[in-house]
Amino acid sequence: MTTLLPKHSPFNRILVCILFILNTAFASAGARITGLKCEYLANPMGMDSPHPRLMWVMDDARQGAKQTAYQLSVGTDSVELNKGIANTWQTLKVASAVTRLNYNGKALQPYTKYYWRVSVWDKDGKSNTSAIASFETGLMDKSKWKGTWISDNNDMNAKPAPYFRHSFDLTKKIKSARAYIAVAGLYELYINGEKIGNHRLDPMYTRFDRRTLYVTYDVTSQLQSGENAIGVLLGNGWYNHQSTAVWFFDKSPWRNRPAFCLDVRVTYEDGTTETISSGKKWKTALSPIVFNSIYTAEHYDARLEQPGWNRPGFIDTTWKGVINRQAPSLNIVAQTMQPIRAIEKIPAESIKKLDAKTYLFDLGRNISGVSSITVKGEAGTAIRLKHAEKLGKNGYADQSNIDIHYRPTDDKDPFQTDIFILSGKGEETFMPRFNYKGFQYVEVSSDKPIELKKENLNGYFMHSDVEPVGSINSSSNTLNKIWQATNNSYLSNFFGYPTDCPQREKNGWTGDAHIASETGLFNFDGITIYEKWMADHRDEQQPNGVLPSIIPSNGWGYEWGNGPDWTSTVAIIPWNLYMFYGDSKTLGDNYEAIKRYVNHINDLYPSGLTTWGLGDWVPVKAVSPVEFTSSAYYFTDVNILAKAAKLFGKADDQKTYEALALKIKNAINAKYLNTATGIYDKGYQTELSVPLYWGIVPDSLKHKVATRLAERVKQDNNHLDAGILGAKAILSALSDNGYADVAYSIASQETFPSWGWWIVNGATTLYENWNIQADDALSLNHIMFGEIGAWYYKGIGGINVDQQSPGFKNILLTPNFIEKLDHFESEHTGPYGTIKSSWKRKGNTVEFAVTVPANSTATLSFPSGKKVFQGSRQIVTTSGLKVASGSYVYLVK
Ligand code: BGC
């Protein structure tokens, strides 16, 4: 290198030194192998799959970094594995860029911990080996269960939650111990007084009579030699729904008093094992939880507490014997997904004394979860905690927007209202265990005066504990707040299955979920929850292919709302998982289900047009034909099926469904498209965006239809005039076709109807209705208008999946430099690492910075008509530019 400094100047020597250090650091920087997961979980336990998926990430910031080969080793001895000896599976050095494999070594054994690591060769042929990760098998086979399903002797109408306990001696030296618990209902498990794990509302909701989940814990540290005690507390959950509402969950075919089956398997230092199981030796009593409903609330009478009930030495002579019960289903399988947790503690922002016996707490934001209260008062004082999303004119909690489907049979089960009866023994804390709510406000009233301060109440935001994998930031405060609110609503509606709202329903509404799935996948690593929910779909499907509109379901929803515009989840979600993770497992698992579903629609509607569906739900004013939107979703499902057939090499199916897709597309276009004008039907926003978004518009007319759409938006004063199906499609329909600024003009509105209108009116979540004064359909925590959260990545950052190379193996990068924004940053961590796309304005130039993770590539396209430079070099190809992994900066004029 040349330098203007004198040859022997101290500066020169320092510079040379720095360069040397940098060079050495760079040379040894190589690849790091991170993110080792099994079935998308870090070091999981209790795995049932005989061929679990093992995956890793090559972390290498160098330009063009890629994996040229891998070698994976699995063994039961971590010390040996460290020396390179793998006794279960060792692949050859395989020349491949693949970063996910199905385990394919010696048959996995139950109750066994496997260690694994992977060596990866980089672009220069240099290898690096990961740290050791593990996965542990569970029972693997239903016949391995030793315990008996037990319950107390009460029937399903009994209100108090039951306690169960069992004490036993362990004499030998314990090496390790695992608890396997399968529950019909909800549970908390204790060993020697300690609560096991930090999951909440376990196990996840399934159609209990078809599939019941069991959960595994490491309980080595909780057991001791000598006397031990196990305690189990059971809640009702969706299994024993006692509250009554319009969906009749109280009449569920699986309904019964909660029951459980437990095996605690202890391995001793001498290599022997012993299993302590649920059975007739156990005893039961009623707990202080005098009522619990997943739907409404929990009532707790602290005067009924039995200190030490889950510890050794407790005198349980007054406790009763248990009864044996049949298993809820024959299908007891491992719960292999992120659990629900209380993720965030939210201190009350303010407290107001409304009258002598009533206080109002405000969390300052809307959440799903529970509140916890700490209070002191006279024994027998009954405290009611009424949870609401809004306040009435008088300043009291107002539930009129969320209790409309509730049909109580008496006044003993008030909606979203916990009841806490004090024991009078000093300061007492209550937080419900078997319920959650949607709320911002808690109105606390008591039948005897109590003193409360702001610090006495906290909220806990609960949801499936999925890791954030995306972030957005921009020069617009409103945009940033909408993104945040979208995530809040997405998470508020993620409880082991996607829901519509955390207060009024908690139902797994299909339509809401497929609309929100891209937003979810850009922002959170949610695959485990969706894979479980797709199994719920397969559990629910009728032999003729029909699915209910809510999943899981007690039978409700096979008659209403279950057309393709909603239940297309069966195809769209597996497809999106394939797009985001590059993993076709769920698409394969659902293949027959999708086929049965579309065949059924084809039988019912041979013309290719179907009127089965709800249509563009909660519209502003324009109403589009149900046949139009439903047929578009029918087309989408068939199209996905045809692509899946191609992927899985099913040539006959591919031919059949490509032809059917074409027939539906032609039928839609023949009836609704005016080819001369480029207008579908009446030319409303939904009518022009849905066919653009779902690929129904003939290629030659795309530009024309998009132009009509842009004109329509101007005519509608740059505001939305669409329901949920239109709102899903419109932003990308515009930005994908050269009208990103028009899309942004809708997305950035702050007057009715718009996302920003909600925000300027104080929203911290997304709503169910554009009209914030609506008397009906006004939950304040719905995700069905949530596509905007995905559009920020796609439409502005330009981070798009490439169907030909999914899982962001190749990224279609199409940034849009929105005129009204000064800067925009987006990043998403996919299977290959973190993709970054950000840009900022500098005078007349936009500086665009992009990071393409190792082992992946991008195809970069700039908006047409732009001049692009890298340093001072002008880039000639500004569309379809192939980019290797690494970080790059472009100047765009
Ligand atoms: C739910 C919606 C759902 C709709 C279907 C409503 O009650 O809250 O989000 O999609 O019903 O009609």
Third-level CATH fold of 341-464 = Jelly Rolls (2.60.120)
Question: What separation in Å is there between the alpha carbon of 291 and the centre of ligand 1?
Answer: 28
pLDDT of residue 2: 31
User: Residue 292 has what pLDDT?
Assistant: 98
3-state secondary structure (DSSP) of residue 151: strand
Structure letter (DSSP) for residue 354: E
Q: Which residue has the higher pLDDT, 26 or 539?
A: 539
Phi, psi of 761 (to 5 degrees): -95, 15
Instruction: Determine the average pLDDT of the residues in 867-880.
Output: 95
Report the distance separating Cα 259 and Cα 242, nearest Å: 16
* Residue from 489, 499, 505, 779 to probe ligand 1 pocket by mutation (most atoms less than 8 Å from CB): 505
**For the segment 788-819, what is each residue's pLDDT rounded down to a tens digit?**
999 999 999 999 999 999 999 999 999 999 99
**Ligand 1 atom nearest to CA at 617:** 12
- Residue 616 Cβ contacting ligand 1 at under 6 Å: no
Q: Where are the alpha helices (DSSP H) in 33-137?
A: 78-82
Say how many Å lie between the CA of residue 500 and the centre of ligand 1: 7
Q: Ligand 1: distance of its center to the CA of 509 in Å?
A: 6
pLDDT at 777: 73
Query: What is the band of 3 on the pLDDT scale with cuts at 50, 70, 90?
Result: very low
Q: What is the DSSP string of 305-345?
A: --TTTTSTT---TTPEEPEE---S-S-EEE--SPPEEEEEE
Q: Is residue 349's pLDDT more than 70?
A: yes
What contacts 267, CB < 8 A, 6 or more positions away? Answer: 174, 175, 176, 177, 273
What is the pLDDT averaged over residues 461-481? 98
Q: Answer whether 341-464 and 470-797 agree in fold.
A: no
Residue 505 beta carbon below 6 angstroms from any ligand 1 atom:
yes
Q: What is the mean pLDDT of residues 491-510?
A: 98
pLDDT digits (tens, 9 = 90+) for 393-423: 999 999 999 999 999 999 999 999 999 999 9
The dihedral over CA atoms of 784, 670, 680, 755, expressed in degrees to the nearest 10, equals 10
Residue 776 pLDDT greater than 90, yes or no: no
Rounded Cα gap, residues 891 and 893, in angstroms: 7
Question: ω before 753 within 30° of 0 (cis)?
Answer: yes
Q: Give the right CATH number for 28-136 from 3.30.9.10, 2.40.37.10, 2.70.98.10, 2.60.40.10.
A: 2.60.40.10
Residue with the smallest CA separation from ligand 1 atom 3 is 509
> Do residues 497 and 769 make contact, with C-beta atoms less than 8 angstroms apart?
no
| Shortest-distance Cα residue to atom 11 of ligand 1 | 509
- The yes or no reply on domain 810-892 and CATH 2.60.420.10 is yes
Find the DSSP H helices in 493-584. 510-523, 527-540, 564-567, 569-581
* Residue in the block written with tokens 């019909």: 184
User: 843 vs 797, 822, 823, 893, CA distance in Å?
Assistant: 20, 10, 12, 10
DSSP letters, 764-801, are: SS--S-S-TT-SSS--S---TTTTHHHHIIIIII-EEE
Residues whose CB falls within 8 Å of the CB of residue 315, separated by 6 or more in sequence, listed in order: none
552 preceded by a cis bond (ω within 30 of 0): yes
pLDDT of residue 30: 76
pLDDT confidence of 58, banded at 50, 70, 90?
A: very high
The pLDDT value recorded for residue 773 is 86
For residue 234, what are its two tokens?
């059971």
The CATH architecture that domain 142-337 belongs to is Sandwich (2.60)
Report the atom number in ligand 1 closest to the C-alpha of 510: 10
Angle at 375 between CA 369 and CA 379, to 5 degrees: 120
Whole-number Å distance between alpha carbons of 597 and 153: 43
Nearest Cα to Cα of residue 458 among 346, 343, 376, 349:
346
Q: Is 500 in the pocket of ligand 1 (CB under 6 A)?
A: yes
Dist. CA 442–CA 435, nearest whole Å = 15
Q: Is the CB of 512 under 6 A from ligand 1?
A: yes
Q: What's the mean pLDDT in 836-854?
A: 97
Cβ of 101 less than 6 Å from ligand 1: no
Above 90 in pLDDT, residue 836? yes
Checking if the pLDDT of 14 tops 90, the result is no
Average pLDDT score, the chain? 95
Give tens-digit pLDDT for 543-602.
999 999 999 999 999 999 999 999 999 999 999 999 999 999 999 999 999 999 999 999
Give me the CATH topology for the region 470-797: Glycosyltransferase (1.50.10)
Residue with the two structure tokens 């002191």: 376
Task: Find out whether 485 and 523 touch, Cβ atoms under 8 Å.
Answer: no
Ligand 1 binding pocket includes 508 (Cβ within 6 Å): no
Which amino acid, one-letter code, is at 17? C
Q: Which helix (H) or strand (E) holds 10?
A: helix 10-29
User: Distance, CA 537 to ligand 1 centroid (Å)?
Assistant: 18
What number does the ligand 1 atom closest to the CA of 501 have?
8
Q: Could you tell me if 776 and 793 are in contact, meaning their C-beta atoms sit under 8 angstroms apart?
A: no
Instruction: Give 839's DSSP letter.
Output: E
Ligand 1 within 6 A of CB of 784: yes
What is the predicted pLDDT for the residue at 775?
75
Q: Where are the alpha helices (DSSP H) in 836-881?
A: none
Ligand 1 near 501 CB (within 6 A): yes
The residue-averaged pLDDT of 56-66 equals 96
pLDDT of residue 517: 98
CA pair distance 497, 32, nearest whole angstrom:
34
Q: Is 613 in the pocket of ligand 1 (CB under 6 A)?
A: no
pLDDT in the model for residue 18: 44
At 436 the pLDDT is: 98
- Which band of pLDDT confidence, cut at 50, 70 and 90, is reported for residue 29? low
Tell me the per-residue pLDDT of 84-118, one tens digit each, with 9 for 90 and over. Answer: 999 999 999 999 999 999 999 999 999 999 999 99
Tell which wins on pLDDT, 512 or 28: 512
Q: Can you give the pLDDT at residue 15?
A: 44
Q: Domain segments of the chain: what residues? A: 28-136, 142-337, 341-464, 470-797, 810-892
> What is the spatial distance between Cα 456 and Cα 422, in angstroms, rounded to a whole number?
15
Percent of the chain residues past pLDDT 90, beyond the cut: 96
Per-residue model confidence as pLDDT tens digits over 192-218: 999 999 999 999 999 999 999 999 999
Under 8 Å between Cβ of 55 and 95: no
